[in-house]
Amino acid sequence: MDQARRVAILIFDNVEPMDFVGPFEVFIAASNRGKDFQVYTVAEHDRPVKAMGNLSVNPSYTLDNCPKPDIVIIPGGWGSRQEMHNEVITNWIYQVANEVELLLSVCTGALILAKANVLNGLKLTTNRLAVDELREVAPASAQIVEHARYLDNGKIVLSAGISAGIDMSLYVVGRLLGSERALRTAQLMEYDWKVTEIQ
């Protein structure tokens, strides 16, 4: 691509911090000083988001004014159980899913994707402690893989809990920009990345 891919990371109240900060760090570390990725947070409302642990985060944009993304990341956390029923968010995801290059989820972000009706016929994973919750809302045509670190369905890539979002993001960097860039990013982060086989 001639210009940097825009990476939008959705945040919401009671989002798990590592679910969004881990991928945020990977994509900025891999960005070649902003030349390859521009990373920003997006939320439903223009106000601070209270992540789990009362971490207060100011979103860069709202759903209405964010730059058109190339990659969207949906994190999880306790707040995902509420936001999966938020039609403003699920309708936005359904719409952007048709337009983006990649749609990624971390942990229970998969619950939100399921409610956005974008997971038909795909292989799914989530936090191991939330597999039963995902099974309740996943489409019958989907296959849940309980012990996968991350799963690549082409446009949609899902990861298991919390730190698995870092591994998935490094994998995506490798898929887009080559394995050397992914390995260099992990080294830059001083992250002990164990490259696993995709299922």
Residue 4 pLDDT > 60, yes or no? yes
The predicted structure's pLDDT at residue 196: 63
Q: In terms of residue numbers, what domain contains 66? A: 5-188
Q: 199 lies in a domain?
A: no
Three-state DSSP state, 98: coil
Binned at pLDDT 50, 70 and 90, residue 191 comes out as very high
The more confident residue out of 3 and 10 is: 10
The predicted structure's pLDDT at residue 199: 46
Cα separation, 21 vs 94, whole angstroms: 23
The predicted structure's pLDDT at residue 1: 62
Q: 195 lies in a domain?
A: no
Please tell me the total count of domains within the chain: 1
The predicted structure's pLDDT at residue 195: 72
**Whether 8 contacts 60, CB under 8 Å:** no
pLDDT tens-digit series, residues 70-115: 999 999 999 999 999 999 999 999 999 999 999 999 999 999 999 9
Q: 194 lies in a domain?
A: no
pLDDT tens-digit series, residues 111-164: 999 999 999 999 999 988 889 999 999 999 999 998 899 999 999 999 998 899
Tell me the mean pLDDT in the region 166-188.
Answer: 95
Pairing of strands 123-124, 49-51: unpaired
Cα separation, 181 vs 176, whole angstroms: 9
Domain with 150 in it: what CATH number?
3.40.50.880
Tell me the mean pLDDT in the region 35-51.
Answer: 97
pTM recorded for the entire structure: 0.95
Q: 75 lies in a domain?
A: yes
Q: 197 lies in a domain?
A: no
Mean pLDDT, all residues of the chain: 94
Q: 176 lies in a domain?
A: yes
DSSP conformational letter for 126? -
Cα separation, 38 vs 143, whole angstroms: 33
For the chain, helix, strand, coil in percent to 5 are 35, 20, 45
